[in-house]
Every structure is written in structure tokens, then in C-alpha cells.
Amino acid sequence: MKWPVVNGVSCVTYYAHDHELVDNAVRFYTNYLGLTIHSETDNGVYLASDDSLLVLKLVVSKEAPDSAEVKKIHKRFEEDLNIVDWRSRAPGFTLSIADLNSTILKLQQAGLVLQITPNDLYPNEAYFIDPLGNLVGLTTTANPLSLVPPVKKLDQPNEGYIMSATVSEATNNNGAPLKGSKNVAVMTSGGDAPGMNACVRAVVRAAIYHECKAFCVMEGYEGLVRGGKEYIKEMSWQDVRGLLAEGGTNIGTARCKAFRERPGRLQACQNMIEAGIDALIVCGGDGSLTGADLFRAEWPSLIKELLDTNRINQSQYHTYKHLNICGTVGSIDNDMATTDATIGAYSALARVCQAIDYIDATANSHSRAFVVEVMGRHCGWLALMAGIATSADYIMIPEKPSSSKGWKEQMCEIVSKHRSKGKRKTIVIVAEGAVTSELEPISSKEVRDELVKLGLDTRITTLGHVQRGGTAVAYDRILATLQGVEAVKAVLECTPDTPSPLIAVVENKIVRKSLVEAVQITKSVAEAIEEKNFDKAMDLRDSEFVEHLHNFIAMNSANHNEPSLPVEKRKKIAIVNIGAPAGGMNSAVYAMATYCMSRGHTPYAIHNGFSGLARHESVNLIDWLLIQGYNSVGGSEIGTNRATPHETDIGMIAYYFEKYQFDGLILVGGFEAFVSLDELEKARCTYPSFRIPMVLIPATISNNVPGTEYSLGADTCLNALVEYCDVVKQSASATRDRTFVIEVQGGNSGYIATFASLAVGAQISYVPEEGVALDQLEADIASLRKQFASEKGMSKSGKLILKSSNASKVLTTQVLADIVKQEAHGEFDTKTAIPGHVQQGGLPSPIDRTRAARFAIRSVQFIEDSFDTINKHHYDVDFPIENTELSNTAAVLGVKSSHLKFTSIRKLYDFETELGRRMPKKISWKFTRDVADRLVGRERLIKELGQVPSLA
């Protein structure tokens, strides 16, 4: 690496107050500026560039600033960032480098504040303060007087990883390796969970990408204690092929009594040092992560003991005296605090819902009751979410035992009311940790006996370890992959003073949380239950858990208990589906109607969209009994239509709105629904009947509605596509040397193709935002040829290419396959596969069911809260159309980063929408696309979505 010093010197000496500051400086200059350790003395360290054009000497001197003073120096420079030219404040040396852009981004990742000239977009020079408080400059010029043209535009640091909808709060992702020097190990511990293999794959490949060595610790902490190459294995890129489609954990997990004692941890410490590991990523539950944090806390004393007993030498002590640990949570119970989801939880929920869907059919046939026992010793998340997703009659969870009366009386009363209304089936879900308010365990047999007393033919189904089985659903594969990548970045960026991080997800955003705090809160829930303090237990649960529980209780009391609102506040609320069917539409109707009933509102369904309303007056009151079972039905039971109000007859629609005196409207659909909401909002000045609160719940597999990062139906689509791709990839692997080109739906949005690519490990994906450029296609084919050559004779060698149907008008799926096959020169075969409308899915996924319920109830609450704001202008002759407060009463409900929020249709339609392409202007998931390519080793020539012309 040729980085000459612009000032003309060849050796620079910097002074540090103590050895710890020297170590900090060594890590900084080696990790971020590419210097290497040349030699060491008792008093300092010599660093050098590859060609020795620069030698940096770091010397210990008590006269140098200590850590506190260095922090003050950094603070002073940060305060003067946009006021004073830093070069006038301190002398320093300046390096001439070729790739200024990526170096700037690396330094920003490290948390440094930079002064960049002439500006951030076109940097020519950059200055920063190093860990010792010295000013260091970077430039593209060869000497102080030379002039060069500005380098290419700097890629802006991203907001992190977007899930299906996720963003890193702690770091940025520029697509360039961090060039860390760590050896990173990953292990799985505790109970197995679907998605753990995806996490292991992500950690291994992300570590290799960042030019680190990757290791797997076999059999959890047991392997760490036993040590040796049998249990601590170095992994290559190819070692983790095919793991995405496999359930459980292929590197094993086991209980380890030895690690619970200090001698066991001491041996584990020695084994890690002998293997050369200085960063550990643990995927497990709260017990496993507690052990990991204890291990890190004890590490200084453990390694000191090893040195004092001559089990390691001084050099090893100096090299490994700090250990970085990061946690990712693998648990089907979803019992970890501070994160919305744990790896494996939604896969387990999918198994539970599938089983209950099957049971539902026979229960309805025989008019039976079923008691279904699910896992959840200290957490009722599985039971709660399954209860919402399957419209269960009653649930029992550890955090919320019956308080108003005994559980037997309460359950029997609710079941009896449901039966009296004509319901033929009864489903009661019991978490294995369910207790009474006196902490007495509630068994499935007790529940059955009570239902039998009601005269119901009752059966018990205990799902047991079936809930852990099978491959991971799309969400868990994506979550585990993004968390694994973020975990590697975390251990590379953490300092000895950084608390151990936990990689979590909040709403839709990947974030770093405190591992210690998360474990403490999680344990506090169990302690609160033991103390019979159930209110505290609920308070310690995440807000989304509490919201879901309140929603379930409200929906479950529909049409049977006295409404919670006084008569004067009750409204008439309509719901309509617009656009193509999407998983979760029926769940939204069910949740909206039952919640309305519990509040006292009157729910209406507009059948077959706006055209059905205008042509046939297709409006019906929603009947409680008729919507039973809606949650487990795909498509749209009330019908849907793509026509917008202007495309039908907006005047007739206004007439029917006035006739039925609707007080609020909920639209469920995709871009056509988005346009419909815009048309209705604009028509308010002409038609008073539209002067009501209106809200759109995005529902489309394309996920192209502005104002949200996630639309209902996208998860159902991904699951269907992932299952399809797994089968096709299996065929390709069995045949050997075969590639399948699979056509993916999504209109002008590459969301589905990108996330499916991440979830199935597709080698290539083409999306409309990029098109299919010839140079990219040529590079991709060349890469496929190399990979097939290197994997000759190996299993799991099948490759997938995902192509969005609108990625190119010229290169159809068949034409693209023919080109690839022609250019393969007989080295591999190419076939096509088109899943078509299979991608819309059959039964909606649990994610789409539960999110639909949450979105629908939030929408009803929005109408309640917004009604008074606009109602006072209902009959104004001069309706104030420019009034922002009034325009906010027509909104889109969307997931944005870590928030669920309403955004005005006016703001979205006028400023954030690309109407010609039916897309939002900002692509929220583009950086996840980079991760998908990186983990399969694809070099993407197109760096910015939508910037490069294609063969369209």
C-alpha cells in the first residue's frame, strides 16, 4: 500500500501517555489506515506501510495527554468543526491515498468526526483526530502544491439494513471491508431455533469479507471448553453453502456444566487464545448470552491467571488481553427483552398456526373444542400471537392470568357466549408456563375438563418439539442474516470499553442494544411473575407485546360485552380492499370489525372495491359470525378491484358515502389504493361526504406504497417464493452444474427479488431499479463459470438467478436464460422457472395476520382521534383544502424504520412519490441488497439503484 507522506517526511513519532493508549492507536492505524506492526520495544511500537514509505513510531511518555485530556482534545475540535479550519489549530502529517472515499467512510464507521474539503459530496481532503489527540490528514494529491480533479461522488453512508420490512442505528454500511485484524468465532447455544444456520452463514461470510478469519465453535460452550481443532474449526466460504435451507443448527448446541464454573471458563479462555480467537459471537437465549457476558467480564482476570501460571506467554497475553463479544438471540419463545423478534420465533409461530389451521377444520366439522398447548415457560408470546392469528377463543399466558375472576369462570363464560352466537368450534391455546394468579400451574387436562363440563366434545393437542422443527421462514432467514452481518461489524468496531452489544430488531430496524440490560430485563419478567407482580411483568414486556394483548382482549369481546365507548362517540366505519389480493387483507377486515364492535362502532364492508360500490351499492354490515375463520383464509373475502374512484364514478361513490353516513374509511391495498386515497382527499372540497378521517393500510406483495417500508402480503409472498426456490435449488443441486433463472413478481419494485435473494442465497438478482446492464450480465456469467469450476463434484452446487419481471423488457426470463446458457460454453446448464401467481401465497403468514390486526386497530383508533378535527368542517361551503391539520386526517399507516406512524397522503403523493413508476422516491431496502450480493460473493457494478440505464 503506497501511502507517502505529503509533507515529505518518512518517519513520524507520536507520544502516548500509557500502553493502553498505544494499543488503541495500534488498533486504529492497523484497522483503518492499513499500517502493520513492524517491530516492538519495551517503550513503544513501530508501524509501517507495506512499502515502508511511512514509519509511525508510537512511544510511551508520561508527558503526553492522558485519556481524559485526549477526550477534551477531541471535543474541542468537534466544537470547532464548522467554524475553524483544523489545520490552523494543530500541526500534523498528511497522507496521500488513492481511495479517499472508502477511507472516509471507514473512519466515519469508527465514529470519528472528520473535517472534509471542499465538501462531503466531492471530498479532496479529510482531517481527523487520532486516538492520541493528533491531527492527521488524508488527500488525493501527491504533494502540497498539486491539483487534481475532484474524485467521484462520495457514496452517502446508509441508514443500515432495511428488513421486510431494518436499519442499523449504531453503524453505517458503505459496502467496503473494514479490514479488521480479528479472528471471529461464532457459536450456537441453548435450545435450537430455525434460522441459527442462517446466522452462522452470515457471520462466517461477513467475517471473511472483512478480511478476518472465521471460526465455528462446535457444540456450544461444551466445544469452547473442550477446545482443539475438532471443536474450534476454521471455516471457509464454501463450508457454509446450503445452510439457509436447513433447520436447527448444524454446528451443534449442548448444555455445559463445566462452563458454569470458573475452571471451565479458564479452560475456554485458554482454548480460544490457542485458536487465535479474539472476538466471539453467540447465538442463543438469555442463559447463553448471560454466560457470554460473564465470560467477557472475567476475561481480564482469566487471561492474567493463565499468564501467571505460565499457560500462555507474554506475547499471547498482550495480543488477546481484550475480548469482544456480541449476542444475537436465537429463541422460539421470543422471550428476550428490548427486541421485537428473536431468531426462530416466527418460524415456530408458523408451525403453531399451521397446526391450529388444520385443527380448525376438524373442530368446525364436528363442532368440537380443542385445547392446544404451545411452548413458552416464562413468555406467552407464542400463545398470544397464535391466538390473534387464528382467532382463538381464549389464551392462557404466564404474564397475564385471569384477574377479574377465576380462569375457569372467565374462560367458560367467553366460550359459552361465542357458542351462543352460533360458533361451531372452540380453540383454547395454553402456554406451557401458564399459571393462575396464585402461581398454580394450569394444565391442558384441567382446561379440557372445564370445557367438557360445558357439554363440548374436547380434545387436547400438545405440539411439543414440532414447534422447533422444519426450515426457517423467510423472516427468520432475513433477520438472522442481517443480525449476523451486524454482529461482525459490532465486534470489529467495539473497543475494550464498549459494553457487550446485543443485535436486536425494533419494528423494522436492526439496532444494537446493551446485552446486559436486555438479559436483566428478561430475567426480571420471570422474577415479577414469581412475586405475583403481573402488572410489573407486563410493564417489562416490550410495548408491542402489550399492544397485541390489549388488541386480542378487545377483539375477543366483540359483540358480546358492553361496548367501551358511550353512544355519542360511536361511529360508522367502512373498510374496502383495492388492488390485487395480498395476504392479510382478510385479517385486517376481521380485526377492524371485531375491534369496532368492542368499541361500539358499526363496521361496514364495501364489497368488490369502488366499482362494486358505484355499480351495485355493494355495502353490507359486517356480521360477527360470518367473519369467523377469516384469519386463515387467503385472498380477499369481501372482494377487491383495481379501479380508483375517478375510474369508476366518484360522484356516485360520494352519494353512497352520504347515504350510509360513513364517519370513517379504511382502505386496504397497494398503489391503486394509494391513488384512491389521494383522489378522495382532493375531492373533499367538492363532496362533503369525503370530509371524514380516511386511512390506508398498505397491502401489496410489491411493497411499493410510499410512506411505508412494509406492506401486508409481502411476507406471505416471500414465504411462498422461498419455498418454491428451495425446491428448485434442490433440483438444480441434484442435477449438478445447473442454474435456474426464476421470474419474480413485484412490478417496478425489486423488494421481493432482493429479499428472496437474501433468504435463499441466490447468486444473482436483477431488479427494475437497476435493470440488466450488459457489463453486469457479462461479469455475472463469468462469476458463475468460476464458481461451477471451483465446486466441481460438490453437493449443494445448484445456483439461482432471480429476475424481477420488469427488470428488462428486452431480456425476458427465457432470453436471459438462453444468453447465460450460450455464454456458459457447456460448463453448466440453464433452465427457467416461473412461479407466477403462486407468489401471492395461499394461507397468509402469521406475520401478515398479526400485523394486519395491529394495523387495522391502529386505523380505527386514528379515525376516533381525527374525527372531531375534520367533522367541524363537514358542511363548510369554502372547505379549507390547504389546511395541513385537515389534510393529515387522510393518511397512510406505515412502518418507517423503528416506528409505526401515520403520514399525510398530501405529503406522500406530492413530494415522496414517483408516479410514473408507481414507486416511492426513496428505496428503503437498497442497502440490504448490498448485503445479499456480498454474502454470495457477487461483485455488483451498479452501485446506486435507478442510476444506471438498462436494456429496457
- Strand runs labelled E in 686-836: 694-698, 738-744, 764-766, 799-804, 829-833
Cα distance between residue 801 and residue 799, in whole Å: 7
In the beta sheet, which residues pair with residue 58? Answer: 14, 45
Answer for the pair 372, 425: CB distance below 8 angstroms, yes or no. Answer: no
Torsion on CA atoms 878, 882, 886, 890, rounded to nearest 10? 110
CA 290 to chain centre: 23
| Residue 629 φ/ψ region, left for φ over 0, alpha for ψ in the -120 to 50 degree band, beta for the rest | left
SS3 track for 496-522? CCCCCEEEEEECCEEEEEEHHHHHHHH
Cα distance between residue 852 and residue 848, in whole Å: 6
Catalytic residue among 333, 340, 393, 542: 333
- Cβ atoms < 10 Å from Cβ of 440: 12
- Give residue for cell 387464528: 390
Burial class, 237, CB count within 10 angstroms (exposed 0-12 / middle 13-18 / buried 19+): middle
Burial class, 882, CB count within 10 angstroms (exposed 0-12 / middle 13-18 / buried 19+): exposed
Cα distance between residue 75 and residue 70, in whole Å: 9
| Residue 192 is a catalytic residue | no
Cα distance between residue 804 and residue 745, in whole Å: 6
Helix axes 19-32 and 100-109, enclosed angle (nearest 10): 140
Q: How many residues does the chain have?
A: 952
Cα distance between residue 460 and residue 802, in whole Å: 44
C-alpha atoms less than 13 angstroms from C-alpha of 39 in its C-beta half-sphere: 5
Q: How far apart are the first and last CA of the chain?
A: 41
**Is the sign of the CA dihedral 283, 284, 286, 290 positive or negative?**
negative
Quick one: which of 448, 470, 471, 450 has its CA closest to 458?
A: 448
Cα distance between residue 823 and residue 496, in whole Å: 51
- Cβ atoms < 10 Å from Cβ of 711: 31
Identify residue 539 by its one-letter amino acid code: D
Identify residue 239 by its one-letter amino acid code: D
Cα distance between residue 723 and residue 741, in whole Å: 16
- As given in the structure block, the three cell numbers for residue 293 are 457476558
Active site residues: 333
